[in-house]
Amino acid sequence: MFIDIPSELEDALIDLPLPPWDLDGSALAQSTIERYQTDLAAAPRFEEIAATLHHALTREGGGYAVLRLGNLAKALGTDDGRFLRLATGFAAEVAVPFSPFPRWPLWKDIGVKVDKDPGRSSGIGYNALHMDLVNASLPPDFTTLLCLRPDPLGGGLSILSDAHAAVERLSKDCRTLLTKPAYHYGTFFDLHGVGEEYKPFPVLDGSDPGEGFVRFTAKMLERSQLATAHAHAAQELAAELVRGQVSFMLQAGDYLIVNQRRFLHGREALHSGQDSVAVPDRRLLLQLFLRARADNGPARSRRRHP
């Protein structure tokens, strides 16, 4: 699940002048996608890494990957846009980058705010396992997090769990309850490209086993008005998700890509003492969402087989 970039590819990417991107509405413009794909495909071993990435995200039992882009981040810096354009190029190999938030740019900052709700993405506490935009009828197919700075105090492990594997460990009665539209979470305001508000929503959408979204956020256990049976079913799923979770620390330059149809993600609490860390030194991630293409295949296959 961790993908290192070969040194010959790193050297080529450092010298690759990808142009600034254009947007078509809230999505990366097709002209930019095609330019990035053409330029990147010429770099040695790029298509090998792109194929490895696609396999990690879509193979049976897979669903997330971490591209180790730290050497590129050091060589290029993270302030002038070149590094972010390369990360966007890698993302465009997986699916179409877009922003569901019209008021935000393509990449959204997730910094650390000590006065925020600790369980929020920008808070300092435990951010329980969840899928992003759980209450949208068309959630992003992939959510991605690019680490520019880890917690300097050593906290904030990323956590992930195979949602379908957790569901398979539940009883049939429990799974049946989770198919009922009984769950609520979040607001739905000023969003683009994610369909309509889904309220209430089922956790399981009735797709074949192992398919479809598992619409879950642990926060809905506190904020939904749930009947006892539906609450117990969601609690059982929450316990199985935690039982099967994996955790790791993102380092500077690591790019985490999560297939939301397979895995849920979250974060352990940051280390205590965040208020003593200067704001420019605190943990900083950038978030980008991706929408699967109609054929759901890797970009490289379309280049070879138009």
Lowest mean pLDDT among 87-91, 117-121, 192-196: 117-121
Condensed to tens digits (0 to 9), the pLDDT of residues 223-266 reads 678 899 999 999 999 999 999 999 999 999 999 999 999 999 99
pLDDT at 295: 66
Domain of residue 85: give its range. 2-304
Q: Both tokens of residue 38?
A: 């053409």
Spatial distance between the Cα atoms of 60 and 266, rounded to a whole number of angstroms: 22
Reported pTM = 0.94
Are the C-beta atoms of residues 249 and 158 closer than 8 Å to each other? yes
Q: What's the whole-number mean pLDDT along residues 104-111?
A: 95
Q: Which of 248, 136, 253 is nearest to 189 (CA)?
A: 136
pLDDT tops 80 at residue 303? no
Q: Examine residue 200 and say whether the peptide bond preceding it is cis (omega within 30 degrees of 0).
A: yes
pLDDT confidence of 186, banded at 50, 70, 90? confident
Overall number of domains in the chain = 1
Q: What is the per-residue pLDDT for 37?
A: 97
Max CA separation in the chain (angstroms): 59
What is the rounded distance in angstroms from the CA atom of residue 160 to the CA atom of residue 58? 16
pLDDT tens per residue across span 38-79: 999 999 999 999 999 999 999 988 999 999 999 999 999 998
**Mean of pLDDT values over 2-12:** 98
Q: Is the pLDDT score of 114 beyond 60?
A: yes
- What backbone torsions phi and psi does residue 30 show, to the nearest 5 degrees? -60, -35
Average pLDDT over every residue of 271-277: 96
List the strands of the sheet with 246-248, edge to edge. 127-130, 263-267, 158-162, 246-248
Q: Residue 305 above 80 pLDDT?
A: no
What mean pLDDT comes out for the span 261-277? 97
Strand 64-68 to 2-4 pairing: parallel
**Does position 22 have pLDDT exceeding 90, yes or no?**
yes
Q: Which band of pLDDT confidence, cut at 50, 70 and 90, is reported for residue 297?
A: low
User: How much is the pLDDT for 205?
Assistant: 86
Q: Is the pLDDT of residue 299 over 60?
A: no
Lowest mean pLDDT among 12-16, 186-190, 298-302: 298-302
Instruction: Indicate which CATH number applies to the domain containing 80.
Output: 3.60.130.10
268-275 mean pLDDT: 96
Note the pLDDT tens digit of each residue in 127-176. 999 999 999 999 999 999 999 999 999 999 999 999 999 999 999 999 99
Residue matched to tokens 């899928």: 131
Phi then psi for residue 281, to 5 deg, are -105, -5
Q: What is the 3-state secondary structure (H, E, C) of the chain?
A: CEEECCHHHHHHHHCCCCCCCCEECCEECHHHHHHHHHHHHCCCCHHHHHHHHHHHHHCCCCCEEEEECHHHHHHHCCCCCHHHHHHHHHHHHHCEEECCCCCCCCCEEECCCCCCCCCCCCCCCCEEEECCCCCECCCCCEEEEEEEECCCCCCCCEEEEEHHHHHHCCCHHHHHHHCCCCECCCCCCCCCCCCCECCCECCECCCCCCCCCECCECCHHHHCCCCHHHHHHHHHHHHHHHHCCEEECCCCCEEEEEECCCEEEEECCCCCCHHHCCHHHCCEEEEEEEECCCCCCCHHHHHHCC
| Mean per-residue pLDDT, 192-211 | 88
